[in-house]
Amino acid sequence: MAGVLLGTMALIVVLSVFNGFDEIIQKIYKDIDADIKVEYKEGALFSLEKNTIQQIKEIKEVNFFSEILEYKMLAQYKDYQHIINVKGVDHSFIESTNFKNHLVLGNKEFLGSNFCLVGRGVFNHLSLQLFDFENLLNLSFFNHTDPQKISNLIKSKAFYATGVFATQSDLDYQDIIIDINNLREFLSLDKLCSSLNVHLIANTNIDEVQKKMLNILGPEYLIKNRFQQRPFVNKMIQTEKLMVYIIFTFILLISMLSLIASLTILYIEKQKDIYTLKVLGFNKVDIQNIFLYVGILITSVGVFLGTILGFLFCFFQQKFGLIKLASDSGFFTSAYPIKINLIDIFFIQLIVLTIGAIVSFLVSRNNLFN
């Protein structure tokens, strides 16, 4: 029973840790990703007609949306250089999302002329100082609109860093955020945008909204939900979770050797009782069924106790952080996160009980029990 108990407990704990990390990752991207992101299939930039924008506004599930313009540039500060992604946003991006909760230095009042917010990684890489009016942050890019003139081949503009954001994601190391109108003026791109971020009312059926927006915009646009915006991250988590299921299922199969040993020893010890049952009229199948039921009972008790101990360990880990992450990991949580998923618990119990029942049946039908 110990093997079944420990196997069940270990599987519950490991999967709960995976769910905890998954929840943290989803929370990180929930603040920086929109519920729905609209992109153009054929090119990086696009513009929407006024009537199209009005149709999107009239979708009752839409809370608000904002236009985003992104462009790769070279950032220079003093003697430091770094290739960055400049993201132009409007007021609603900061004021109406949780992005403002990730500002760790300065303030969010950056939408004035030549002001910008920088990611923590960019801030450290360039050794920036906030409100440094003597040493400006220069952003440069290749001007493709007029490549014939050598003097206009590289276009530059100076900005002042007024705040630093830390989202614990890749954005911290590559993004600088400025006002979208300033970026459009800098790039000479009137009314164009890279994407449209759509934020929905809580508890909205996202699939239905995707269908409505597809009808409005047409098949030349990509309408992405949160999962589709970051497919690699989400698929990686699901794949790792599936591998944990497979690995621990094999471990549980090995742990069932203890069940086989228990039933075999029980058979050897109960020879006199078996003889008595035969005298009382029990046939071979009846006696085999007794050992089958004993095996299922041992498995059930192991699953029950393993589930309780797994819950208790997860509770104390969540409450007190018993097992810590490496002190030098630089991660933003000090202990392994925990999230108990009842569906996972159900599948764990189902897997263990099924394996236990199959093993008990095969052992009880072995020639030894004949």
Burial class (CB in 10 A: 0-12, 13-18, 19+), 185: middle
Q: Which of 212, 229, 246 is the last residue of a domain?
A: 229
Owning domain of residue 291: 2-27+232-369
Residues 184 and 327 in one domain: no
* Amino acid occupying residue 339: K
335 in the same domain as 208: no
Please tell me whether residues 360 and 245 are part of one structural domain. yes
Model confidence, pTM:
0.77
Mean of all residue pLDDT scores within the chain: 87
Based on the domain organization, do 70 and 196 belong to the same domain? Answer: yes
Residues 6 or more apart whose CB falls under 8 angstroms from that of 135 comprise: 77, 78, 129
The answer to whether residues 163 and 253 belong to one domain is: no
Q: Are residues 56 and 205 in the same domain?
A: yes
| Domain final residue, candidates 207, 229, 251 | 229
Where is average pLDDT lowest: 14-28, 104-118, 252-266? 104-118
Same domain, 319 and 271: yes
Q: Which residues contact 208 (CB under 8 A, 6 or more apart)?
A: 61
CA pair distance 245, 250, nearest whole angstrom: 9
Give the DSSP letter of residue 325. Answer: P
- pLDDT at residue 173, rounded to an integer: 93
Report DSSP state, residue 145: S
Q: Are residues 224 and 264 in the same domain?
A: no
pLDDT above 70 covers what percent of the chain? 92
Same domain for 84 and 114?
yes
Q: What is the pLDDT of residue 250?
A: 86
Token digits for 215? 């009808």
Q: Which residue has the higher pLDDT, 152 or 4?
A: 4
164 and 296 in a single domain? The answer is no
Mean pLDDT of 328-346: 82
Domain boundary among 229, 252, 267: 229
Residue 182, class by beta-carbon neighbours within 10 Å (0-12 exposed, 13-18 middle, 19+ buried)?
Answer: buried
Task: Report the pLDDT value the prediction gives residue 145, as an integer from 0 to 100.
Answer: 61
pLDDT band at 367, cuts 50/70/90? low
* Shared-domain flag, residues 48 and 157: yes
Burial of 203 (0-12, 13-18, 19+ CB in 10 A): exposed
Please state the domain count of the chain: 2
CB atoms within 10 A of CB 92: 15
| Residue pair 17/314 in contact by the 8 Å Cβ criterion | no
The mean per-residue pLDDT over the stretch 207-225 comes to: 94
Q: Same domain, yes or no, for 304 and 255?
A: yes
How many whole angstroms separate alpha carbon 12 and alpha carbon 14? 6
Contact 68, 36 (CB under 8 A): no
pLDDT band with cut points at 50, 70 and 90 for residue 95: low
